[in-house]
Amino acid sequence: MKNTGSLISVIMPCYKAAATLERSVRGVLAQTYGPLELLLLIDGRDESTEQLAQDWAKKDDRVKVVISEKNRGVSRMRNIGMRLGVGEWMAFCDADDYWYPGKLENQLALLLEFGANFSCSGFNFYSPSSQVRMPVQTKNFIDLTVLKQTNPIPLSTAIFHRTLGRGCYFPELPSPYIHEDYAFWLKMFQEHEVQVVYSSELTTDITRAEGTRSSNKWLALRSHGYILKTFGGVRGMGWWVLMASYVWHGSLKRIVGKFIK
């Protein structure tokens, strides 16, 4: 394990996450890059999740546990994590996702090599029920224009310099909308000078469980349209063009996935 270099703050909100937390934490702590802190943010009292988190904190001093007495929602917990994190770099891992061991080392090396301040990567969609993994590559080049066409930045693959988080927080979306991470990226790319370096290495299992809100394609489409208008400032014909682009990119992922399976 490499123990020299800049500290990375890893932010992991946990809401009733006892069933998946163990695997997610193991993936973070098994990184080949050593200087990291893992902030486990317990979103509302939950004895089983709290116990798992506290057990990890006792075993590894890189783990820090923060418990919210009430359920604040994933956006607010991520924002709390960004305020509490002291690392030069920020990364997120959802409590049902999993990092492969070389993720941070690989991406940080690319960031330093190219003088960039943001990195994301390829990943596997992972189905817990079937154990099937579907590899996905997003975009080799990402800027605000590309970001408005599709969301090529899966949250659990991203790492960015903490200066990009200044004054930029995850918004709380009105019900029933989802994908607050997409709104966060749009705000960041509009407010800061973001230089992205993309890694084609598959660094992460992103869990895609059936029956969840995140797997609801119609809800995802509605949410994307709302976020484009509200946070991207897109209106009129431009909105329809970008929505068509979103549908195309989403369909392409599913078509490729069927051939891969």
> E-strand spans in the chain?
8-14, 36-43, 63-68, 89-92, 98-99, 118-126, 133-136, 159-161, 196-207
Q: How do 118-126 and 196-207 pair as beta strands?
A: parallel
CA atoms within 13 A on the CB side of 12: 33
pLDDT tens digit sequence for 215-255: 688 999 999 999 999 999 999 999 999 999 999 887 776 55
8-260: CATH class = alpha beta
Low-confidence spans in the chain with pLDDT less than 70: 1-4, 210-215, 253-261
Which secondary-structure segment (H or E) carries 239?
helix 236-260
pLDDT given for residue 257 in this prediction: 46
Q: At 20, give phi and psi (nearest 5°).
A: -120, -15
pLDDT given for residue 5 in this prediction: 80
Report yes or no: 148 and 137 within 8 Å, Cβ to Cβ.
no
Both tokens of residue 104? 């941070």
Separation between Cα atoms, residue 91 and residue 49, nearest integer Å: 21
Sign of CA dihedral 14, 19, 20, 23: positive
- For 139-177, the DSSP string reads -SS--HHHHHH-----GGG-EEEGGGGTT-----PPTT-
Separation between Cα atoms, residue 68 and residue 256, nearest integer Å: 41
* Model pTM above 0.85: yes
∠ CA(93), CA(95), CA(96), 5° rounding?
A: 105
Separation between Cα atoms, residue 46 and residue 22, nearest integer Å: 15
CA atoms within 13 A on the CB side of 149: 12
∠ CA(116), CA(250), CA(149), 5° rounding?
A: 50
pLDDT given for residue 220 in this prediction: 92
For residue 92, CA distances in Å to 96, 139, 155, 157, 218 come to 12, 19, 6, 7, 26
Which secondary-structure segment (H or E) carries 100?
none
